[in-house]
Amino acid sequence: MTSDDLAAFAYGLPKAELHVHLEGTLEPELRFALAERNGIELAEKTVDEMRATYVFDDLTSFLAVYYPAMAVLVTADDFDDLAWAYLERARANGVRHVEMFFDPQAHTSRGVAFDTVIQGLRRAVVRAEAELGIDAALVLCFLRDLPTDSAMATLEEALPYRDWIVGVGLDSDERDNPPTKFEAVFRRARAEGLRLTMHCDIDQVGSIDSIRWVLEELRVDRIDHGTNIVEDPALVEALVGSGIGLTCCPVSNSFVTASMKGAEMVDLLARGARVTLNSDDPAYFGGYVADNYVRLAEQYALGRDTLAQLAINSFEASWLPAERVAAYVAEVREFVAAQ
């Protein structure tokens, strides 16, 4: 495949995105526009100046840039505009279904009401179905570097909006904040009928123990990142047997660790794991979901069949009803057959 053919195939391929933080899709241009609308003065005056501040080499240094940028998100319209801008880009990346993370505590801790956040996001979700043909769902993420009580209070605040949320996740700084810290919150969320996923970030202290616990004890419905599972072949077998998806983010990995961790993804795929490709925080890492397909394919000489398998995995690892999954998988096969 020429690089043009590869890009056209990767962009056109119908796919689901299962690991994208809406706050991580806040592009500098929108950040400036929202700052102006809300009368907030920013230190930087141009997009280039702003991008020049996006300097990070690990998760902690990334988060130190990511959270302050959210100060421009104040009204329901701001959250609507944020989600809408992402959804339009997602459409151009061949996304047919998306399960999007949002971080309510990053906003309620600044005095923005939970209701404001979710009403704005929900408006974009509803419009996306009507105007973009994307079915979009929201996944509420708890910030693992805040106390457990705060997560539980956030879950309770979310319950009146239960029908607008498909599941819960766990993000932010994993160091000293293992999944076990949130066992009670996640068990409660499951009792409320929500799906469960958790970040098991790359190369953390105790990564393999965290992965084992979420898979075998808590029994999550998906794992975000999780490629350190290759350290334990028996656990890989358990993962494959469970059919649980891993939401991998090669471009993001290359910013917060020394590599894309592509070799691990390719190896896990070959062993039958439900590996999926996703963008994580594309406004900061410079690649939306189709770019993640392109980058992995270029580096590991992946062919169309492998990319199509990754797209099929993305639907099979989603939380859509079985008949919708089957319909989207058929769409992938039709797309490939028409090439």
Q: Is the Cβ of residue 116 or residue 227 nearer to Zn ion in the bound state?
A: 227
Nearest distance from residue 285's CB to ligand ADE, in Å?
A: 9
The residue nearest ligand ADE at its CB is 171
Output the six-digit token pair for 15. Answer: 């796919």
SS3 content of the chain, % helix, strand, coil (to 5): 60, 15, 25
Among residues 171, 264, 291, 316, the one that binds ligand ADE under rule CB under 6 A: 171
Q: Residue 122 and residue 23: Cα distance in Å, rounded?
A: 15
Q: Is the Cβ of residue 253 or residue 313 nearer to ligand ADE in the bound state?
A: 253
How many other β-carbons are positioned within 10 Å of the β-carbon of residue 52?
10
How many other β-carbons are positioned within 10 Å of the β-carbon of residue 26?
25
Q: Identify the CA nearest to 281 among candidates 111, 124, 65.
A: 65
Q: Is the Cβ of residue 81 or residue 280 nearer to Zn ion in the bound state?
A: 280
**Structure letter (DSSP) for residue 204:** -
Q: Is the Cβ of residue 18 or residue 332 nearer to ligand ADE in the bound state?
A: 18
User: Residue 173 region, left (φ>0) first, then alpha (ψ -120 to 50), else beta?
Assistant: beta
Q: Which does 172 bind (CB under 5 to 8 A by kind): ligand ADE, Zn ion, none?
A: ligand ADE
19 binds ligand ADE (CB under 6 A): no
Q: Residue 30 and residue 120: Cα distance in Å, rounded?
A: 15
Q: Which residues bind Zn ion (CB under 5 A)?
A: 280
Please say whether the beta carbons of 172 and 143 come within 8 A: yes
Nearest distance from residue 6's CB to ligand ADE, in Å?
A: 26
Residues touching ligand ADE, count (CB under 6 A): 11
Q: Which residues contact 237 (CB under 8 A, 6 or more apart)?
A: none
Among residues 13, 16, 22, 59, the one that binds ligand ADE under rule CB under 6 A: 59
17 binds ligand ADE (CB under 6 A): no
Nearest distance from residue 202's CB to ligand ADE, in Å?
A: 9
201 binds ligand ADE (CB under 6 A): yes
Q: Is the Cβ of residue 80 or residue 280 nearer to Zn ion in the bound state?
A: 280
199 binds ligand ADE (CB under 6 A): yes
135 binds ligand ADE (CB under 6 A): no
DSSP per-residue codes, 36-74: HHTT---S--SHHHHHHT---SSHHHHHHHHHHHGGG--
User: Residue 65 region, left (φ>0) first, then alpha (ψ -120 to 50), else beta?
Assistant: alpha
Q: Which does 201 bind (CB under 5 to 8 A by kind): ligand ADE, Zn ion, none?
A: ligand ADE
Nearest distance from residue 24's CB to Zn ion, in Å?
A: 7
Binding residues for ligand ADE, rule: CB under 6 A, are 21, 24, 59, 66, 171-172, 199, 201, 252, 280-281
